[in-house]
Structure 1
Amino acid sequence: MLGLGTLAKKVFGTPNDRKIKATRPLVEQINALEPEFEKLSDDGLIEKTAELRKRALDGESLDSLLPEAFANVREGAKRALGLRAFDVQLMGGAFLHQGNISEMKTGEGKTLVATFPAYLNALTGKGVHVVTVNEYLAKRDSEWMGKVFAAVGMTTGVIWSGQPDAEKKAAYACDVTYATNNELGFDYLRDNMKAELDQIYQKYHNFAIVDEVDSILIDEARTPLIISGPSQDRSDLYTAIDGLIPSLQDDHYSLDEKSRNVTFTDEGNEFLEQQLIAAGLIPEGHSLYDPESTTVVHHVNQGLRAHKLFTRDKDYIVRDGDVVLIDEFTGRMMPGRRLSEGLHQAIEAKEGVQIQPENVTLASVTFQNYFRLYDKLGGMTGTALTEAEEFAEIYGLGVVEVPTNKPIARLDEDDQVFRTAGEKYGAMIDQTKEAREKGQPVLLGTTSIEKSELLSHMLQKEGIEHNVLNARQHEQEAQIVADAGRLGAVTIATNMAGRGTDIQLGGNVEMKVLQAMAENPEADPAQLRAAEEARHAEEKEKVLAAGGLYVMASERHESRRIDNQLRGRSGRQGDPGRTVFYLSLEDDLMRIFGSERLDKVLTTLGMKEGEAIVHPWVNKSLERAQSKVEGRNFDMRKNVLKFDDVMNDQRKVVFSQRREIMSSDDLSEIVSDMREQVIDDLIDEHMPPKSYADQWDTDGLHEAVKDKLTIDAPVQDWAAEEGVDDEQVRERLINAADEMMAQKAAAFGPENMRNIEKQVLLNTIDGKWREHLLTLEHLRSVVGFRGYAQRDPLNEYKNESFQLFEGMLDSLRETVTQQLSRVRPLTEEEQREMLAQMQAQQAQSQQAVDQAASQAEAVAEADASGDPLPGFVEDDPSTWGNPSRNDRCPCGSGKKFKHCHGRLT
């Protein structure tokens, strides 16, 4: 008998079915407009954009413009790229415009889908940001889809790290801007550290379309973006502590792999105390529990975490003497990203590389709070349904599963569970050989660099040719992915598996054409293309006959989404394919979540070596384990967000105040209010309300006024006058302060004075906000312990951070008033000294520029002649000049530096 829920679904359809059904009339409307738009000339498409833009600015709703806008873009894409969008792509675009996540399978053309809502929402003139997971994709998509936008008369920009200021500003001013999530977040923080309004990049947060939305808004949401500056060097402390960690025994600490946490036991604390006293890190007679020991204890804990929780070639790699983190979800390197609170320094000490100074936070924001700034948000991915609850709760985003253009023909097999990792890898190698014999391309998925290299080594022993795609081969990603679908190709990939790029059966025809053109620059491009397309069609037929792409995964990931992404590499656009997960009881997920019970079952069944257990129940049991982990990760992200929300309210106040100050021409009123408030506070402190004259501290008030306002006011004489109260003293002080500031304004000139006020205000706000962030960081790290006293850490954090924020505002008023009271025009001699200093600095920097230019010229000359750079010594990099990666090598080989001697450094 059917349950009520099942019966209702049969009669009414699922909520997803109803959403799909509701957009069908819209798609029909767009299709009906197609003949009309086909008749338009190329200029006609651009004129149509101008007409739609005018209607949008005149107040017509974007929903009513949607059919014409989508029809215009479809025609533009057809002419610019030869791609006619399918009905399901229009549907995905409509859902994005409505502020949803469109879940579309791999190969369904999500890159093109984004152009429809991006075009429609850019008609308002406020710009649209398309967010990608890496810079390669941002540049590729902006160039590729830029042709579509150009065909309909819109501008496209791209943002990347280290971009020149003028280029970045121009890119943000475009109708549609492609960028990575990191660069957008950092630019937002940088904007709020600028001193002039016209230096700001992000004028609006209108609409963002987030590609691979699950990776950006969920996987990366646990780590806030931080702009930081260096603090004092403490490398000796890290090195000394690192020397103690190897001497710890197993009973000195407890390791919890589930929560990725490690703590000292009582025995460990005693042992540690003795060692630290012996090493002179804690003074004799002190203990670990003294307040003075807090910093040392914190760093010892970080040292323990570095050794026991962070593994080389899995969590990070060492490259050119730097510890570079690896994203656990995508397997990509994250250069420039550092762990906070001394943990990165502890890993550097462990690896024996140069220890960089710890950083002080200058500005920070979480991805959750950054993307919630946008008026509207949309997202695309192949895997979002498993996290629908989180998207709805945190971002207010619905998830809609868009049907595929062609039915999925991929075969997803049940997991195969072996007792040992050796048996599992052996089975994978056998299957790879079998698939390769019939020409079927194979993609082997792994969870870490270490495991991808282990598999690679095993394939080499068997003489199987293959490519490896992991963080070390980051730069060759596009080429490796382009070849992964070729006849008999074998590719090993970490979790990223070419995310955002398509594995096409028979290989990527565009890449083949570009390669052929590079090899034969003289040949006719049209003939080359025709020949390559014919070869590609033939190879694709053979791959289809062999069964399409065979995806074998060597492990289950904590998150089902990552597994589903790997599966989704196969079976694009209705192609055949096959996927299977090979697991062993030694895998991390199996080991942590109940492999003992399974091991007993397998032993009882008397399984032979090399045999696998294959059953749907195993899949279900693993899915439950993954759901538990995902639930815990969601709670962790929610917790990070709850604490960041407290800071976010304060961040919004500070950042909006900064914008107000920057956009204002005259701040004298704000400065005057601050001065009056400082005087009020001084009067309240030294002449408390309802107190008698003999209780007033007039000497203290005189000194405080002299210090804070630089006014030598005869406060004692005023107070001694008959009938004078605190209110009259206050008024006299305000008048004296106003008079002094009026004199300063006259001395500087009104315009200069306004500029000084603006700079002092902005600099002081920035300084106080930095101090406040540091205090909140320390508060956040200790407030968790309040839970032991039955007090809610979050409420404690809210109350204390609010008090700290009020204290910061008081301190801000005081500092601004004090600094403005002390500014004075420079004497002629001081001006001459300052001018001489500036000229010396300019001469120094010009000398450095000239030196770099002469080196570059010498390299260019050597390159042109084929001779090495004068003074070039093969084994001495200091004689090579300072070539960039793409310059010609100074040895005179004619190759680029990165492909020649640059590889050795």
Structure 2
Amino acid sequence: MFARLARAVFGTSNDRVLKQFSARLPAIAALEPQVEGLSDEELRGQTARFRERLAQGEGLDDLLPEAFATVREASKRVLGMRHFDVQMIGGMVLHSGRIAEMKTGEGKTLVATLPVYLNALAGKGVHVITVNDYLASRDSAQMGRLYNFLGLTCGVIVHGLTDGERREAYARDITYGTNNEFGFDYLRDNMKYRLDEMVQRDFNYAIVDEVDSILIDEARTPLIISGPAEDSSDLYRKVDAVVAELVKDKETYEKDEKLRTVALTEGGAETVEQMLRAATLLEEGDLYDFHNVTLVHHVNQSLRAHTLFARDVDYIVNREGKLVIIDEFTGRMMEGRRYSEGLHQALEAKEHVEIQPENQTLASITFQNYFRLYPKLSGMTGTAATEADEFAEIYKLEVVEIPTNVPVIRQDNDDEVYRSASEKYAAVGTLVKEAQARQQPVLVGTTSIEKSELLSALLKKEGVPHAVLNARYHEQEAGIIAQAGRPGGVTIATNMAGRGTDIKLGGNAEMLAEASFDGPREGPEWEAHLAQVLEQVKRDEAVVKQAGGLFVVGTERHESRRIDNQLRGRSGRQGDPGASRFFLSLEDDLMRIFGSDRMGGMLQKFGLKDGEAIIHPWINRALEKAQKKVEARNFDTRKNLLKYDDVMNDQRKEVYAQRRAFMQASDVSETVEEMRRETIAAMVAKAIPENAYPEQWDLVGLQRQVHESLGLDLPIEAWGKEEGIDEVAVRERLEAEADRAAAARAADIGPEFMRAVEKSVLLQVFDAVWKEHLLNLDHLRQGIGLRAYGQRDPLNEYKSEAFNLFNTMLDELRERVTSLLLRIQISPAAPLPEPEPVMVTDMRHPEPDMAGAAGDPWTHAPADPAFAPAVAREVEGVDPRDPSTWYRTPRNAACPCGSGKKYKHCHGRQG
């Protein structure tokens, strides 16, 4: 009650923010006549004057009114668009480091030009992040005209650019690109070996378009670059044949659709064990014996593939015979993305297509931790308010709702609920035919390709002409959406998030003109044709408005309220008339899985009969509660992912900072010397434990290790017989001998050349041990959830063990660098061993895997196997036939025997 009274008197926090920014509007408006009087050259000269004032100590906030007035005027001259006052407020919200929620059709792309220009004046770079390459290219081309007019440079980062092109684009004042491209460039930069090869500069300011899609939906999974692991495609096929038979009996497994988990029943485990034995896959012991852990993993993933994932819903098999994931939020095919933990391979086996090899992580980062690298971050979208708590908790971003320029008059009808899906689709078909008869355009939203094609078949049967937009026809996306507002037009679309193209009533004149004109897009013929099409579109617009505007029909509720709101928001833009209605059935996934158990009983009380619909506000509220449950579950998933990644993020920041310091240093000899001393100290401490008696010393083992690791033949065993010798004396003698050997090697090849070798070796070994550390963390994370059965917190266990693994990695780094530099054989005349570049063939941002405890949403992108240190091949004296010459071969390196297997799976196999 008191809160309601306070809001009535003082307004909401949103109202207060809007009032604060609205107070600056008169100052901007007062400058408009003055700026209008400037010539084009004088207007362009404003940029240089603003930069001079910044150099003299003024702040960006001081320049805001004049800068915004300048952009508004430039936009009128270059783009033919004048910023509304609400767009000015949106620009101020973005400049202040907040999220601006603006309805569809309010011109968010134009709004961004205001803070982008103002912040670009500082010369530190501004990044504008979009959801796909098409929007990045379109917006940079359109808005780039405005920035170029004002004397700023604008670039774009899209897939397929060379490093040189990327470096040039990042050096510009403003850079457009997708979240994936920016994130992968960051990871790749931290895999380079020279500073001048890096493409990004220091982070400054970013505006994220469709911020909810990028920072919420796509943040459920990290960006990962990975290299190839061992091929086990034959095993996937054999296990798939077994599981395909197993799942025919539903008593063999238990499935939880809410959590998207599946597990074998006790009887199922016995059955599959017998089937695996019959298929000669289980040769000894029981299924759950330790040595069969890999087989259990393959069975579990194949079981998930057969029971939790459906073709044409979760993925499709494209024309090239490749299995491609469908984004549940946009309905688009996500080329290049792969499920993790062998699930993608299990799906490929299920669909009998070529099985791509598995991969291991080389570098990774979550979007949460990537975007928190920016000192200043803001975003814009049509739907953020429902996720305001998450934005505040994870990103420290406040959501501000910006009022529309013209009041929204769209009529949002209550949902209609039917008993069965067939009744629902019949009702949708009837409504579509009625709307088409009165020339009202209809946009029908579906949740999957399967359902969009089912509805398309139904409308074809009814003789209703329509267009279909889903992952199968994504190439025609912009054209289909742009024409969805024509009189009587019917468009079926699989999800509408981040489409980036407005539906204009009457159609998009420019696209219509281009589609119906064969000649060049210039000259009197083109102008006459365009004018003719514009006239037709105006007439069509009047017809559509008379018919009631765009009618949005939802055939199912999505898990997230935001997706429903995005679909609704396509209608009623800029004060246009419009309507929306959702058609549901008790067979819908959301109703069936997440709806209240009492929902069916409640509908019975309302008197729901076959072929009839129930329409009541209570239904809407019940569905909203179900959606909130799912949103809360997804938030927990993202928070859980972030908690684990924060552990790695601390290590990642430390490694990347240290690596960059090595790259910047011209001389790393002190670091190398310190590593040598620490390595020797560790060897001695292991052989001569504290407070141990001389007879307990392992000097024979120490002598052998010094020979193997440092290449030094020293009579250490004899030293132990000397009177008064102790641990300190042994360590000092070893250090002196190692120093002499290092100095002699430097003298042989030249001190300057030796410094270059040291730096090259240090960087390459650093990368090798970091890669192995990431693999160890992957393995640790996969099984850490089981610690909960022992009444221990998995996260605390992960933190503790990850810390120990990190220290082990540092020890390994010191040992390898010391060993390589004391053993490496390089002729002074030979060129410096160049690091082999990490030629990443593909990088992926995996599809969210909501499997909870049954799976981990981390997945991989293949990179070139040449990531291993090149210097290792310079070590002489390694005989493939003599294991005693192999020294300390890393467990994940290729076995020196030449088998092609990893050392740990060949001669390094333990036991």
Superposed pair shares fold, TM > 0.5: yes
Partner of 1:99: 97
Partner of 1:303: 302
Offset at residue 729 of structure 1 (A): 2.7
Partner of 1:804: 805
| Whole-angstrom CA distance in 1 between matches of 2:692 and 2:240 | 60
Specify whether residues 719 and 273 from structure 1 end up closer, same or farther in structure 2 by C-alpha distance, changes over 3 A only: same
Specify whether residues 692 and 520 from structure 1 end up closer, same or farther in structure 2 by C-alpha distance, changes over 3 A only: closer
Partner of 1:841: none
Question: What percentage of aligned pairs have identical amino acids?
Answer: 60
| Whole-angstrom CA distance in 2 between matches of 1:606 and 1:722 | 101
| Whole-angstrom CA distance in 1 between matches of 2:653 and 2:823 | 30
Partner of 1:857: none
1:463 maps to 2:463: yes
Listed one character per residue, the Cα deviations across residues 344-389 of structure 1 (whole Å, up to 9, x for unaligned) are 0000000000001111111111111111111111011000000100
Contact 1:313 1:449 survives alignment (8 Å): yes
Partner of 1:278: 278
| Whole-angstrom CA distance in 1 between matches of 2:24 and 2:197 | 42
Specify whether residues 699 and 596 from structure 1 end up closer, same or farther in structure 2 by C-alpha distance, changes over 3 A only: closer
Letter in 2 for 1:802: F
Partner of 2:897: none
Letter in 2 for 1:296: L
Letter in 2 for 1:321: G
Listed one character per residue, the Cα deviations across residues 856-892 of structure 1 (whole Å, up to 9, x for unaligned) are xxxxxxxxxxxxxxxxxxxxxxxxxxxxxxxxxxxxx
1:290 maps to 2:289: yes
Partner of 1:592: 593
| Whole-angstrom CA distance in 2 between matches of 1:57 and 1:258 | 57
Partner of 2:39: 41
Offset at residue 674 of structure 1 (A): 0.5
Partner of 1:496: 496
Letter in 2 for 1:566: L
Partner of 1:317: 316
Letter in 2 for 1:705: V
Specify whether residues 605 and 92 from structure 1 end up closer, same or farther in structure 2 by C-alpha distance, changes over 3 A only: closer
1:706 maps to 2:707: yes
Specify whether residues 732 and 605 from structure 1 end up closer, same or farther in structure 2 by C-alpha distance, changes over 3 A only: closer
Partner of 2:411: 411
| Whole-angstrom CA distance in 2 between matches of 1:752 and 1:404 | 66
Partner of 1:61: 59
Letter in 2 for 1:642: K
Offset at residue 564 of structure 1 (A): 0.3
Partner of 2:217: 219
* Number of aligned positions between the proteins: 831
Letter in 2 for 1:754: R
Offset at residue 690 of structure 1 (A): 3.6
| Whole-angstrom CA distance in 2 between matches of 1:41 and 1:711 | 78
Return 118-127 or 78-87, whichever deviates more. Answer: 118-127
Q: CA RMSD in A?
A: 1.9
Partner of 1:350: 350
For residue 409 of structure 1, give the secondary structure of its aligned residue in structure 2: coil
For residue 430 of structure 2, give the secondary structure of its aligned residue in structure 1: helix
For residue 745 of structure 1, give the secondary structure of its aligned residue in structure 2: helix
Offset at residue 516 of structure 1 (A): 5.0
Partner of 2:380: 380
Specify whether residues 434 and 202 from structure 1 end up closer, same or farther in structure 2 by C-alpha distance, changes over 3 A only: same
| Whole-angstrom CA distance in 1 between matches of 2:575 and 2:259 | 40
Offset at residue 732 of structure 1 (A): 2.5
1:237 maps to 2:238: no
Letter in 1 for 2:204: N
For residue 377 of structure 1, give the secondary structure of its aligned residue in structure 2: strand
Contact 1:445 1:497 survives alignment (8 Å): no
Partner of 1:682: 683
Partner of 2:878: none
Return 751-760 or 164-173, whichever deviates more. Answer: 751-760
Offset at residue 595 of structure 1 (A): 6.5
Letter in 1 for 2:116: A
Offset at residue 532 of structure 1 (A): 2.6
1:134 maps to 2:132: yes
Letter in 2 for 1:10: A
Offset at residue 497 of structure 1 (A): 6.0
1:205 maps to 2:206: no
Contact 1:332 1:496 survives alignment (8 Å): no
Offset at residue 568 of structure 1 (A): 0.3
| Whole-angstrom CA distance in 2 between matches of 1:124 and 1:315 | 45
Pick the aligned partner of 1:75 from 73, 76, 96: 73
Partner of 1:113: 111
Listed one character per residue, the Cα deviations across residues 884-903 of structure 1 (whole Å, up to 9, x for unaligned) are xxxxxxxxxxxxxxxxxxxx
Offset at residue 626 of structure 1 (A): 0.5
Offset at residue 719 of structure 1 (A): 4.0
Listed one character per residue, the Cα deviations across residues 283-303 of structure 1 (whole Å, up to 9, x for unaligned) are 23x012211111110110000
Offset at residue 519 of structure 1 (A): 4.5
Contact 1:469 1:497 survives alignment (8 Å): no
For residue 220 of structure 1, give the secondary structure of its aligned residue in structure 2: helix
| Whole-angstrom CA distance in 2 between matches of 1:519 and 1:313 | 40
Offset at residue 638 of structure 1 (A): 0.6
Contact 1:517 1:523 survives alignment (8 Å): no
| Whole-angstrom CA distance in 2 between matches of 1:794 and 1:114 | 40
Listed one character per residue, the Cα deviations across residues 154-209 of structure 1 (whole Å, up to 9, x for unaligned) are 11111111212221111111111111111111111111111111111221221111
1:636 maps to 2:640: no
1:25 maps to 2:26: no
Specify whether residues 124 and 664 from structure 1 end up closer, same or farther in structure 2 by C-alpha distance, changes over 3 A only: same
Return 408-417 or 19-28, whichever deviates more. Answer: 19-28
| Whole-angstrom CA distance in 2 between matches of 1:798 and 1:606 | 56
Partner of 2:902: none
Partner of 2:147: 149
Specify whether residues 341 and 609 from structure 1 end up closer, same or farther in structure 2 by C-alpha distance, changes over 3 A only: same
| Whole-angstrom CA distance in 1 between matches of 2:485 and 2:735 | 78
Contact 1:212 1:500 survives alignment (8 Å): no
Partner of 2:659: 658
Return 490-499 or 247-256, whichever deviates more. Answer: 490-499
Contact 2:749 2:827 survives alignment (8 Å): no
Contact 1:131 1:179 survives alignment (8 Å): yes
Partner of 1:768: 769
| Whole-angstrom CA distance in 2 between matches of 1:121 and 1:721 | 72
| Whole-angstrom CA distance in 2 between matches of 1:59 and 1:739 | 56
Letter in 2 for 1:311: A
Equivalent positions of 1:856-875 (< 5 A) are none
- Name structure 2 gaps, 5 residues minimum: 837-911
For residue 334 of structure 2, give the secondary structure of its aligned residue in structure 1: coil
Offset at residue 462 of structure 1 (A): 1.4
For residue 24 of structure 2, give the secondary structure of its aligned residue in structure 1: helix
1:370 maps to 2:370: yes
Offset at residue 231 of structure 1 (A): 1.3
Contact 1:481 1:498 survives alignment (8 Å): no
For normalisation by structure 2, the TM-score amounts to 0.89
Offset at residue 232 of structure 1 (A): 1.5
- Name structure 1 gaps, 5 residues minimum: 839-905
1:534 maps to 2:532: no
Equivalent positions of 1:159-174 (< 5 A) are 159-174=157-172
Offset at residue 603 of structure 1 (A): 3.8
Partner of 2:697: 696
Contact 1:477 1:498 survives alignment (8 Å): no
Offset at residue 217 of structure 1 (A): 0.7
Contact 1:478 1:498 survives alignment (8 Å): no
Contact 1:317 1:325 survives alignment (8 Å): yes
Contact 1:142 1:178 survives alignment (8 Å): yes
| Whole-angstrom CA distance in 1 between matches of 2:606 and 2:723 | 104
For normalisation by structure 1, the TM-score amounts to 0.89
